[in-house]
């Protein structure tokens, strides 16, 4: 699957996941969901942004620029970007990271995001 959306209703936000999109497909997707004309895509294999969208909800973009495989490097990449997503969502809902206080909330959200990205990529 090339694109899918993770709806995290509890925190009233969405994560748009783009998997292996060409630059033109990427730009078309951004134009379809956001109020900006273009995001300068990074040269790295993956990136994460908060994006101004047409809806009132907080929305994010997880761009997996290269084809994701079932190998350690790809899983590391997914985990890394999901961690960015977790920190941004928790920051947006004003839950700071405090060891032994809010770490379980962070870990639960991160695990959920990772699971949904994994399932979306491999259609599980």
User: What per-residue confidence (pLDDT) applies to 19?
Assistant: 95
Q: Is the pLDDT of residue 124 over 80?
A: no
Q: Tens digit of pLDDT for each residue in 98-111?
A: 999 999 999 999 99
Instruction: Encode pLDDT of 13-59 as tens digits.
Output: 999 999 999 999 999 998 888 877 777 888 889 999 888 776 667 89
Q: What is the model's pLDDT at position 63?
A: 96
Which range marks the domain in which residue 7 is found? 3-121
Provide the token pair at 20. Answer: 């292996």
Task: Please count the structural domains in the chain.
Answer: 1
Adjacency order of strands within the sheet including 46-51: 3-8, 13-19, 58-64, 46-51
pLDDT for res 1: 63
């Amino acid at each position: 699957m090339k694109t899918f959306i993770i709806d995290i209703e509890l925190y009233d936000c969405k994560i748009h996941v783009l998997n292996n999109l060409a630059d033109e497909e990427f730009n078309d997707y951004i134009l379809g969901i956001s109020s900006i004309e273009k995001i300068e895509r990074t040269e790295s294999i993956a990136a994460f942004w908060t994006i101004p969208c047409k809806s009132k909800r907080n929305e994010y973009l997880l761009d997996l620029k290269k084809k994701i495989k079932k190998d350690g490097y790809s899983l590391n990449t997914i985990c890394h970007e999901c961690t960015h997503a977790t920190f941004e969502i928790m920051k947006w809902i004003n839950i700071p990271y405090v060891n032994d206080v809010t770490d379980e909330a962070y870990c639960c959200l991160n695990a959920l995001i990772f699971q949904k990205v994994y399932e979306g990529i491999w259609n599980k």
